[in-house]
Amino acid sequence: MTGTRPPAPEGERPTATRRARPAYDPSSLVEVAARVFNERGYDATSMEDLSAAAGITKSSFYHHVRGKEALLRAALERALDGLFGILDEPAATTGTPLARLRHIVRRQVEVLVGELPHVTLLLRLRGNTETERWALGRRREFDAAIASLVREASAAGELRAGLDPAVDARLLSGLVNSLVEWYRPGRVPVDELVAEVDRMAFEGLLAQGPAGDGRRA
In whole angstroms, give the CA distance from residue 49 to residue 54.
9
Summarize pLDDT for 104-128 with one digit per residue, the tens: 999 999 999 999 999 999 999 989 9
Summarize pLDDT for 136-149 with one digit per residue, the tens: 999 999 999 999 99
Kindly indicate the confidence band of residue 211, based on its pLDDT and cuts at 50, 70 and 90: very low
Note whether residue 56 is domain-resident: no
User: Would you say 156 and 96 are in contact if contact means Cβ atoms under 8 Å apart?
Assistant: yes
CATH code, domain with 98: 1.10.357.10
Q: Is the pLDDT of residue 154 over 80?
A: yes
Note whether residue 20 is domain-resident: no
The pTM score is 0.80
In whole angstroms, give the CA distance from residue 54 to residue 87.
34
Note whether residue 37 is domain-resident: no
Note whether residue 47 is domain-resident: no
Residue 169 identity (one-letter amino acid): A
Q: Is the pLDDT of residue 4 over 60?
A: no
Query: What is residue 205's predicted lDDT score, i.e. its pLDDT?
Result: 62
Summarize pLDDT for 35-89 with one digit per residue, the tens: 999 999 999 999 999 989 988 888 877 777 888 899 999 999 999 999 999 999 9
Summarize pLDDT for 169-208 with one digit per residue, the tens: 888 999 999 999 999 888 889 999 999 999 988 886 666 5
- State the residue range of the domain holding 165: 75-202
Tally of structural domains, the chain = 1
Note whether residue 106 is domain-resident: yes
SS (H, E, C) the chain: CCCCCCCCCCCCCCHHHCCCCCCCCHHHHHHHHHHHHHHHCCCCCCHHHHHHHHCCCHHHHHHHCCCHHHHHHHHHHHHHHHHHHHHCCHHHHCCCHHHHHHHHHHHHHHHHHHCHHHHHHHHCCCCCCHHHHHHHHHHHHHHHHHHHHHHHHHHCCCECCCCCHHHHHHHHHHHHHHHHHCCCCCCCCHHHHHHHHHHHHHCCCECCCCCCCCCCC
